[in-house]
Amino acid sequence: MSSQQAHPRSHGSCPHDGAPRPYSPRYPEALCGGCADRATDLAERPVRMGNVSLSGGFAAVHADDGTVCEQVTEDGRVLVDGIVYRAGEARFGGVVVQPAP
When the pLDDT of each residue in the chain is averaged and rounded to a whole number, the result is 90
CA distance 94 to 54: 10
pLDDT at 61 over 70: yes
Give the number of other Cβ atoms within 10 Å of residue 31's Cβ.
Answer: 25
Residue 44 and residue 22: Cα distance in Å, rounded?
28
**Res. 39: pLDDT tops 80:** yes
Q: Nearest to residue 86, comparing CAs of 41, 26, 28? A: 41
Q: Which helix (H) or strand (E) element contains residue 78?
A: strand 77-80
pTM to 2 decimals?
0.85
Greater model confidence, 7 or 86: 86
Q: CB–CB of 77/83 below 8 Å?
A: no
Q: What is the pLDDT of residue 81?
A: 97
